[in-house]
Structure 1
Amino acid sequence: MKQRPAVLVVDDEQKMCLSVKTMLENRGLDVEVATSGKTAMETIGQKEFDLFLLDIFIPDIDGFGLMERILAKRPEAPVVLMTGDASVDSAVHALKRGAHDYLRKPFEAEDLEKTINNALRQRKLLEKTRIMEDRLKVSEKRFRFMIQNSPDMIYTLDKRGNFTFVNEAATDLFGYHTTDLIGKHYRSILYEDDIARSRWRFNERRTGERATAGFELRLKPGPRIKATEGKKPAYAVVELNATGMYRRESARGPRVQVGTYGVARDTTYRKALETQLIQAKKMEAIGNLAGGLAHDFNNLLMGVQGVVSLMRLKMEPDNPFLKQVRTIEQYVQDGAGLTRQLLTLAKGGALEIKPTDVNELIRKQSRMFGRTRKEITIAEDLVPVVLPVLADSSQIEQVLLNLYVNAGHAMPEGGRIAIKTENIYLSHEHMLIGSTHLKPGRHVKITVSDTGIGMDEKTLERIFDPFFTTKQFGKGSGLGLYVAYGIIKNHGGFIQVVSKQRVGTTFTIYLPATERRTARVEKPSLQKILGRETILLVDDEEKVLTVCGDSMKLLGYTVYTADSGDKALGIFSKNAEAIDVVVLDMIMPGISGKETYRRLKQIDPQVRVLLASGYAMEGQAEEILKEGCAAFIQKPFKIEQLSLTIQEIMDTSCRIG
């Protein structure tokens, strides 16, 4: 049931109150009366009223005073004043003091009804307006909260392209406070190379499906941007969505453009992740191809090395061709070094991981390179006590050498190389330096800078690609930085590069530190070792079997050979007690080296197996070593290396026995 409007009539004349009450009740209103100001105030305290009809002349409180008290409690309530002594001045005075209307006694019922209805309509309109205003305030508050707490930069431009609003995200993301941008043209924050192509994008005029969506551009860092590792980023990559803002100047007038509304989402980190993912996939694909080629090439080198070793073993020390034979051996080792670099990237995994002092490696490589390029000054700024890192020292030396050589090529007439080491702690915030696999914690940071010719952006994008080189044909393989990238990645680190043409290039390397201490280990020198043991050589390459077998026989070994896993198992099952060591190739047709090893173990659980492969020590080889295999040797190897490794296996088994 609809509630009737409530009216309070206040007049010191009882008859007047009852007369007005009757008229209004006949028109469906809920009416209360009071004959004094005191009674009126008591009644107001007990009930809510929609309208007040007050006589001006009331003995205890006049109508004006009573109206002021009512409006103090209910400012939106309409008040109609009544008096028999009316004039224009008194009416104006009543309206100025807050009355909704003014009635002169005596008045007709129609005049009273008209005044009351008008006042009630006005009250309803005011209530609706207040409700709409409250809703608008809530909506505006909610909208402002959403805008200011959005993770994206939200902005509006006027039709000239000047900022009229920017939310707080602009400060956190790009370093621009509202005061830095309001009234400024949008071009002031665009990266210089993107200004031309961003016209009519950042200040979009179109709407609907034709408006700008997913447009990528770069913004310059603002004055309040936070520096990472002491450096401010060159730009931020954003994804832009923008649309034109229009309004009508009149109900039937045309729509007029008043500006642009846009949202800029920071995609810098996402782009870095996408770039790294593409780079990682590319490295993996090329690495797999390179690994297969390197394995086959190592087998060819093994054949050459075997023949050369056999020739050298048969030569007297004064043989005039001994020098040439050793030169061939050096060429084989150079070729093996190249394939070793490819293998490092093909499957990952450093070969001799141990706690390493990178300062020592830097000093060593600086001396070596400095002797070859005396026109280049090498300045070292090494932290006095550098944190140890778990690394293969030879591979880190390779990285340093590759960076030195790269710097040397950039400074053909001489220059300066500055190398610096720092102990740093990387937090989660520092992960934005661009790496997807660096973990928070202590790291060693190595910085190598040169004063060379620098690189443009297109060159920087391909700097770590295999076989990419800016040098003339025949002057470089294009593998140096590719190898450096793979080695650092395999060590759980990260390498990045910044460069500017005619200024120079800086490579920065991050390597995770370890709690383990560095230890000096003296490597045994290779020498001709005579043997008395019986060995079983297993390899599917006939040339490897022939030359290795003949060479080992010259050293005094008794040798069985097998060109497949099946033949090896047959020979071993008949001669298990006599065979001291099995030299087993990993990659063979038919029964693989892995399966052959496991079947040998079934025949003799104590069998000593030396794995030999053109691949690096990873994957299947690493798995077999964990199962108890004695040792691993990588092709191509010298016969002295093979003999020494066999002797170490025998010595170890004797100590254990």
Structure 2
Amino acid sequence: MPLKKILVIDDDEVDRISIRRALKQVYENPHIEEADSGKDGIERIKTEEFDCVFLDYLLPDMDGVSLLRDIYDENLGTAPLPIIMLTGHGKTSIVAEAIRVGAQDYLIKELLSPDTLSIAVTKAREVFDLKVNQKRAEQQLIQSRKMDAIGQLSGGIAHDFNNLLQVIIGNASILEALAEAAEASDVAEAEKIRRRAELILTAAEKGAALTARMLSFAREQELRPSVLDINTVLINMEELLDKAVGDAIIAKYTLSNDLPLINVDKVQLETSLLNFAVNARDAMPQGGYFMIETKKAFVHPKAEDFRGQHPLPGEYIRIGVSDTGTGIENAAIDKVFDPFFTTKDPGKGTGLGLSMVFGFVEQSGGFIQIKNKPGEGVTFCVYLPVYESGEELTATNSEKLSPSVSKESGNHAPTQHHDQSPEDDKSIASQERPDSASLHILMVEDTDSVAEFVKKQLKLLGHQTTHCTTADDALIYLEKGDVFDLVFSDVVMPGKLNGIGLIKEIRKFRPHQKFLLTSGYMGNQFKESDLNEISDIHVLKKPYKVSALEEYINKTMQGQDI
């Protein structure tokens, strides 16, 4: 690898000439700069970029070890660039101390030659790269574990919170129905009830949206990917982005032609771009420039400076989002994607915007790079994998259970039989009604408050309900021969069997049984084979209204897609 720019810190002109001569014999047209004091050397290292530094141990104002201590980078665990210590005698204690505080190799001046210099440079750069990559890997591992822990916590909160919201939203929707019924006798009272129900629903829906944002930074949100042209997305968003940054900021868009397509969630992509725009606006209260650039990029297997999981090599679409604002303080750069971290004043930011972007990009198979200049601005480079034509358009594991991507309804052949044969099951199936009028529903729900509310909803819809708190209890009813038009089960439940396991067991002896699943959060606990097993079953996402429950029941009984 060629050396483009080299710094020699030595107060002896004869030594500087020797090093310059040797460098020119080894490298083609090297750019060599010189400093004759420690102070000058430190200033140049902190303000300019060099590929390598030759540092004399004895300087007029300080020794080389003191200089190394001054520029030592705590985050990297070494000096911020490859450094070779120059010494007249090669005293072991000096060399050891220099390497301990950041130098990568040393040269004895009397032994200086093109060959020894070339070997020292190669070794110093290799050792430096090794240390930097090791430190980055450690930091990425720590970040990944932290995000996983936050994700597990968020998932647990989301599950419980959605159950609470389910009761609130469900009862509010029942209030709406009661308001309609009361309208005939007392219009004023009915309007009061309706307004109260609307207030409850609005607040609960905001809570549901907050839960969704928590799952997004935990990389557990349900994505709905579609094949998109990034330039078309940006063109359609241009007016919205211009309004988001405000009149004082000039927005510029540089869109490369003939870019490959991407396969990502359009809503999450647009939300991410809008988040960048809002952050840019807040960073430039006096005005400035907000710039978005799209281009194709090839990611090398040894890609560096990325945030998130190590990117797979290959073609990506690079979306560069830049501003000329205040930039990010170096002390905060490693925290910008942490949930609830914000540099904004109290009340002006939740700290969820960039963490949501990070979660979406990672979940989409991409990664992010940050190019930051404190006081001058920042560039976020979002890399999203190119969609390969012919690649199967399937959703992520969590999305396969999403109601919006439910596949065509179908039945699975039985693999074994319990107390009933397929013929017996077909006779049961023949008794099923073509629609959802007056169904007998087996509801499997472990949360009592949710179960109580759902029973009221189902009764309001004209259905009879049998309630079980565990999948094992549900199996007892079915194995003893009880007939149900529909099994309506939560996905995540305590005990040996969850909702998916329950369906797999029932299908062994009742392959034609109708199922409807519901969940507030499923996480990544299910195997691909489990998700494929129930890919034909609709999943009603909590929290839901009575109208949504009615629609899903009707569609399930009629074998229709949602």
Do both proteins adopt the same fold according to a TM-score greater than 0.5, normalized to the shorter chain?
Answer: yes
Give the equivalent residue in structure 1 for 2:263: 390
1:473-494 CA distance string (max 9 Å, x none): 3332211111111110111111
Counterpart residue type for residue 559 of structure 2? T
Q: 1:238 aligns with which of 68, 75, 81?
A: 81
Alignment of 1:175-186 (within 5 A): 179-181=30-32
**Long gaps (5+) in structure 1:** 1-147, 220-235, 249-256, 525-529
Q: Distance in 1 between matches of 2:231 and 2:43?
A: 39
Give the equivalent residue in structure 1 for 2:476: 570
1:276 and 2:140 correspond:
yes
Confirm or deny: 8 A CA contact 1:163 1:185 kept in the other structure.
no
Shift of 1:169: 9.9
Confirm or deny: 8 A CA contact 1:614 1:636 kept in the other structure.
yes
Confirm or deny: 8 A CA contact 1:295 1:614 kept in the other structure.
yes
Give the equivalent residue in structure 1 for 2:99: none
Shift of 1:344: 3.0
Shift of 1:434: 3.3
Give the equivalent residue in structure 2 for 1:330: 202
Confirm or deny: 8 A CA contact 2:169 2:204 kept in the other structure.
yes
Give the equivalent residue in structure 1 for 2:19: 165
Question: Secondary structure, in 3 states, of the residue corresponding to 2:380?
Answer: strand
1:71-105 CA distance string (max 9 Å, x none): xxxxxxxxxxxxxxxxxxxxxxxxxxxxxxxxxxx
Give the equivalent residue in structure 2 for 1:204: 57
Counterpart residue type for residue 245 of structure 1? G
Question: Secondary structure, in 3 states, of the residue corresponding to 1:340?
Answer: helix
Alignment of 1:421-500 (within 5 A): 421-428=294-301, 431-432=303-304, 434=306, 437-500=310-373
Q: Rate the CA distance shift 1:597–1:184 in 2: closer, same or farther, 3 A.
A: same
Counterpart residue type for residue 201 of structure 2? E
Give the equivalent residue in structure 2 for 1:640: 547
What number of residue pairs does the alignment pair up?
464
1:36-83 CA distance string (max 9 Å, x none): xxxxxxxxxxxxxxxxxxxxxxxxxxxxxxxxxxxxxxxxxxxxxxxx
Shift of 1:276: 2.8
**Long gaps (5+) in structure 2:** 48-52, 73-78, 92-107, 113-119, 394-403, 406-434
Counterpart residue type for residue 459 of structure 2? K
Counterpart residue type for residue 279 of structure 1? Q
Confirm or deny: 8 A CA contact 1:428 1:440 kept in the other structure.
yes
Q: Distance in 2 between matches of 1:314 and 1:372?
A: 41
Confirm or deny: 8 A CA contact 1:294 1:615 kept in the other structure.
yes
Q: Distance in 1 between matches of 2:2 and 2:241?
A: 55
Bigger mean CA deviation after superposition, 472-481 or 270-279 = 270-279
Q: Rate the CA distance shift 1:484–1:449 in 2: closer, same or farther, 3 A.
A: same
Confirm or deny: 8 A CA contact 2:155 2:523 kept in the other structure.
no
Higher relative contact order (CA 8 A, sep 6+): 2
Q: Distance in 2 between matches of 1:497 and 1:247?
A: 41
Give the equivalent residue in structure 1 for 2:154: 290
Give the equivalent residue in structure 2 for 1:122: none
Q: Distance in 1 between matches of 2:25 and 2:493?
A: 59
Percent identity at matched positions? Answer: 28
Shift of 1:186: 8.6
Q: Rate the CA distance shift 1:350–1:544 in 2: closer, same or farther, 3 A.
A: closer
Q: Distance in 1 between matches of 2:343 and 2:389?
A: 41
Q: Distance in 1 between matches of 2:282 and 2:348?
A: 10
1:233-268 CA distance string (max 9 Å, x none): xxx9436564633299xxxxxxxx968987633325
Confirm or deny: 8 A CA contact 1:344 1:616 kept in the other structure.
no
Counterpart residue type for residue 278 of structure 1? I
Q: Distance in 2 between matches of 1:600 and 1:191?
A: 74
Question: Secondary structure, in 3 states, of the residue corresponding to 1:424?
Answer: strand
Give the equivalent residue in structure 2 for 1:343: 215
Question: Secondary structure, in 3 states, of the residue corresponding to 1:559?
Answer: strand
Q: Distance in 1 between matches of 2:326 and 2:339?
A: 21
**Which of the pair has more CA radius of gyration?**
1
Confirm or deny: 8 A CA contact 2:475 2:502 kept in the other structure.
yes
Q: Distance in 2 between matches of 1:239 and 1:577?
A: 75
Alignment of 1:218-617 (within 5 A): 237-238=80-81, 240=83, 242=85, 244-246=87-89, 264-265=124-125, 266-267=128-129, 268-316=132-180, 319-320=190-191, 321-346=193-218, 348=220, 350-371=222-243, 374-375=246-247, 376-428=249-301, 431-432=303-304, 434=306, 437-516=310-389, 531-532=436-437, 533-574=439-480, 577-589=483-495, 591-616=497-522
Q: Distance in 2 between matches of 1:489 and 1:598?
A: 32
Q: 1:650 aligns with which of 538, 549, 557?
A: 557
Q: Distance in 1 between matches of 2:483 and 2:42?
A: 79
Q: Rate the CA distance shift 1:389–1:620 in 2: closer, same or farther, 3 A.
A: same
Counterpart residue type for residue 343 of structure 1? L
Confirm or deny: 8 A CA contact 1:425 1:443 kept in the other structure.
yes
Bigger mean CA deviation after superposition, 488-497 or 321-330 = 321-330
Bigger mean CA deviation after superposition, 397-406 or 568-577 = 568-577
Give the equivalent residue in structure 1 for 2:531: 625
Q: Distance in 2 between matches of 1:163 and 1:288?
A: 61
Shift of 1:218: 7.5
Q: Distance in 1 between matches of 2:281 and 2:554?
A: 43
Confirm or deny: 8 A CA contact 1:157 1:165 kept in the other structure.
no
Counterpart residue type for residue 267 of structure 2? S
1:492-515 CA distance string (max 9 Å, x none): 111122233443222111101113
Q: Distance in 2 between matches of 1:278 and 1:216?
A: 26
Counterpart residue type for residue 339 of structure 2? P
Q: Distance in 2 between matches of 1:171 and 1:565?
A: 78
Counterpart residue type for residue 568 of structure 1? A
Counterpart residue type for residue 180 of structure 1? H
1:5-60 CA distance string (max 9 Å, x none): xxxxxxxxxxxxxxxxxxxxxxxxxxxxxxxxxxxxxxxxxxxxxxxxxxxxxxxx
Question: Secondary structure, in 3 states, of the residue corresponding to 1:465?
Answer: coil
Bigger mean CA deviation after superposition, 397-406 or 595-604 = 595-604
Q: Distance in 1 between matches of 2:172 and 2:495?
A: 27
1:87-146 CA distance string (max 9 Å, x none): xxxxxxxxxxxxxxxxxxxxxxxxxxxxxxxxxxxxxxxxxxxxxxxxxxxxxxxxxxxx
Q: Distance in 1 between matches of 2:23 and 2:363?
A: 37
Q: Rate the CA distance shift 1:217–1:402 in 2: closer, same or farther, 3 A.
A: farther
Shift of 1:584: 2.5
How much is the aligned-residue C-alpha RMSD, in angstroms? 4.5
Q: Distance in 2 between matches of 1:514 and 1:247?
A: 57
Question: Secondary structure, in 3 states, of the residue corresponding to 1:246?
Answer: coil
1:568-597 CA distance string (max 9 Å, x none): 223334565332242333133564334433
Confirm or deny: 8 A CA contact 2:212 2:221 kept in the other structure.
no
Q: Distance in 1 between matches of 2:149 and 2:284?
A: 33
Shift of 1:440: 2.9
